[in-house]
Amino acid sequence: MPKRDSFKMWGGRFEGKLSPEAEAYSYSLQHDVRLWKQELQVNAAYARMLGIRGLLSTHEANRLVDALLEIHTELEEGEWFPSDEYEDIHTAIEARLYEKVGALAGKLHMGRSRNDLIATEVRMWLRERTTNLARALFDLCQQLMQLAAQHKETLMPGLTHQQHAQPVTLGHHLMAHCWAFIRDLSRLAHAGDRMNLCPLGAGALAGTSLPIDRELLAAELGFAMPVPNSMDAVSDRDFVAEYLFVCALLMVHLSRLAQELILWSTPEYGYVELSDEHTTGSSLMPQKKNPDIAELIRGRSALVIGNLMGMLALLKGLPLTYNRDLQDDKPLLFATIDTVVPSVRLMTEMLARAQWRPERMRAALQRDFSTATELADYLVRKGVPFREAHHIVGQLVRECIQQGIGLEDLTLEQLQRHHPRFEADALEVISPERAVRARTLLGGTAPESVEQQIEQAQQWLAVIEHQLNELLNPN
């Protein structure tokens, strides 16, 4: 075995060494050490396959697997950890294996490359992280649905262009966010399908002439099937880019919800008070209660979007097959996962512990003209063309503004001056409660429609959960 301080997988052809600067520049152990469990799992599966195919004796295969299990225990219990003298996790574990079984460790690498190893291990690592992210997203969706059920009759202004538009319920508004996160979960499941192919056995790029069994390796490691093309197997990082896209869009959705919580917690809105656990004070102004966690979620969405852009830029000019540029996919991926999962969990906590102020939401509907469309629809039901009805109600609104009153302050006489088909019941449609309850159509804001949405959302989540379970628990 080479000396420990000079252990390389590739040194035979070289007389000189990398310069210290080049060595430091190419060093990746600080990132790929996260993959140690996957490295050991892949090595064990490969050793067993080599034994089954007769490329190792049963004794040799068992000895390798036992040694790999010992290394797993050492790492798990902190008895051994790769030092920074090794360039990557593959080198570190192979060197440790040499210490345990001697030259037999060198047989384990027959027919394979670090290229197909790393591609396999990143897919496995990401598959496991999918479980954590999916669980956090399910919890967030359940929290939103619980709040929606509680506030299916809590009235508030619905906005377009940040202007009061029509009355809605808080439950309806929260379900709009919930559906976005359900789409994120669905994208996560479909991205997982494309990720769940096994590169192992592709070698450096062309496969191997040794009689290895790629189907057996894929099955043992929980993949649906091997990657069909060995060149694509080692060069494909679409699964990383797609995962980063799912995370970036998820963070955009979190950022939009965070922005609303920030606005709604201001004195001008007063719709919600965020808990002390998710706010901070000012070092100068003692009265302040700042929505820092919501602001950090909003801000960190930019970092995740940046990681996606970095990944796409990393890939855009690479010829087939493997290029060392791909080493830098892992910092982008790891940083994204480290940001997204805590962001989802914190948003769930923030929503659960917030104090909502229904009376402030209802008060915001006073004299805001958000039931103007109800008056127009009233005239439509009386046979007036909508464009004419729209113009008539627009004149009514202008008159109210000039007089400093709201639609709810109008009398029947004032309405009839603008059109004779207004009758006494027209005064009733101006009520925000009436406007909300009238919208019982599928996807509407009426309480019964919100209940229907919650039922539909539960059904969608059950389907997605089944898809994810099939992906993550293939056996």
Dihedral angle over CA of 343, 307, 249, 345, nearest 10: -10
Selecting among 161, 255, 391, 466, the annotated active-site residue is: 161
Torsion of CA 369, 371, 372, 374, to 10 degrees: -170
Whether residue 334 contacts residue 305, with contact meaning beta carbons closer than 8 Å, is answered with no
- Residue 186: CB partners within 8 Å, gap ≥ 6? 460, 464
Q: Which residue has the tokens 């062309």?
A: 206
Spatial contact of 350 and 275, defined as CB atoms under 8 Å apart: yes
User: Would you call 282 a catalytic residue per the annotation?
Assistant: yes
Report the C-alpha gap between 322 and 204 in whole angstroms. Answer: 8
Active-site pick, 26, 57, 83, 282:
282
C-alpha to C-alpha distance for 179 and 303, rounded to whole angstroms: 24
390 is catalytic: no
Q: Note if the bond before 321 is cis, omega within 30 degrees.
A: yes
Enzyme catalytic residues? 161, 282
